[in-house]
Amino acid sequence: MAGAPLLLLLAAVCLACFAPGANAAGRKMVGVYELSKGDFSAKVTNWGATVTSVVFPDSKGNLGDVVLGYDTIGEYVNGSSYFGALVGRVANRVAKARFVLDGKVYHLYANDGKNALHGGHRGFSKVIWTVKEYVSGGDSPHITLYYHSFDGEQGFPGALDVYVTYELSSPYVLSVRMNATALDKATPVNLAQHTYWNLGGEGSGDVLGNTFYTGNFLQDVKGKGGSVYGQYGALCLETQGFPDAVNHPEFPSQIVRPGQAAYKHDMVFKFSF
Ligand SMILES: *[C@@H]1O[C@H](CO)[C@@H](O)[C@H](O)[C@H]1NC(C)=O
Ligand SMILES: *[C@@H]1O[C@H](CO)[C@@H](O)[C@H](O)[C@H]1NC(C)=O
């Protein structure tokens, strides 16, 4: 049967895709990278530049994970909740999946009825990022992930280089630094870190800086360790620009142009009990 070996081959390829660790022969591999600083730790996967866990102690010293997510990378690949992911090229909605920039009409991939949502069908949360730098421990454990978005990806104009760095520092601070550089054409850029913070425990988190607060729209999503996440079980604190800004000249511009200042967006999460 010709079918059997093919099936085996596909299974082997998929296992390789999700195997943690090394980059064989320059291929992009999906792995899970731990950052740890004493009793404070986080896990990040280069699938969607996603934060899969953030663990720190409660007042009794018990460690707890405050991030909603899944047990396996496969579920992140399948999932539609954007758990922990880096969302782009344009987070949120672009109405009618179209916009006009410098007199030219661009049509995006419509994945939310007639609109484009969170970068389209295969936005930055659904691609493999390259690990540029990884320091797992020490004073400031951090990981820098890079993604090259090509001209026309999901309908967006121009190539774009995107970086995100996740870094732990004391006391229980997670910082997220994002930047994006337009290489050849002007393009809208609006990146968002889409972590849902679990409200179930005793913990609390503060986001320092320019904060934009959104409720969440989870509907009984199956997550880590068999838990089911219902509506209002978590909080997603996204700092980002206005929805559909590219079609609203009165909103602050999200246009990034080649040869001009890069897009920059920093967030700082401070955890405490
Ligand atoms: C992904 O979705 C497919 C189709 O619904 C399902 O068969 C598969 O088990 C899912 N994989 C994971 C890892 O959840
Ligand atoms: C973007 O971040 C990367 C990684 O930290 C850095 O090397 C690069 O210089 C930054 N680019 C800009 C334009 O700030």
pTM above 0.85, yes or no: no
Quick check: CB of 101 below 6 Å from ligand 2? no
Q: Where are the domains of the chain?
A: 4-271
If you take atom 7 of ligand 2, which residue's CA is the nearest one? 163
Q: State which of 144, 179, 265 you would mutate to test the pocket of ligand 2, scoring each by most atoms of that ligand within 8 A of its C-beta.
A: 179
User: pLDDT tens across 143-164, in order?
Assistant: 999 999 999 999 999 999 999 9
Q: How far is the CA of 256 from the centre of ligand 2 (A)?
A: 15
pLDDT at 235 over 50: yes
User: pLDDT tens across 34-86, in order?
Assistant: 999 999 999 999 999 999 999 999 888 899 888 889 999 999 999 888 889 99
**SS3 letters for the chain?**
CCHHHHHHHHHHHHHHHHCCCCCHHHCCCCCEEEEEECCEEEEEECECCEEEEEEEECCCCCEEECECCCCCHHHHHHCCCCCCEEECCECCEEHHHEEEECCEEEECCCCECCEEECCCCCCHHHCECEEEEEECCCCCCEEEEEEEECCCHHHCCCCEEEEEEEEEECCCEEEEEEEEEECCCCEECECEEECEEECCCCCEEEEECCCCEECCCCCCEECHHHCEECCCCEEEECCCCCCCHHHCCCCCCCEECCCCCCEEEEEEEEEEC
Q: How far is the CA of 256 from the centre of ligand 1 (A)?
A: 37
Ligand 2 atom at shortest distance from the alpha carbon of 165: 5
From the CA of 78, the nearest ligand is 1
Mean local confidence (pLDDT), 6-28: 40
Domain 4-271 has CATH 2.70.98.10: yes
Give residue ranges with CB within 6 A of ligand 1: 72, 74-75, 78
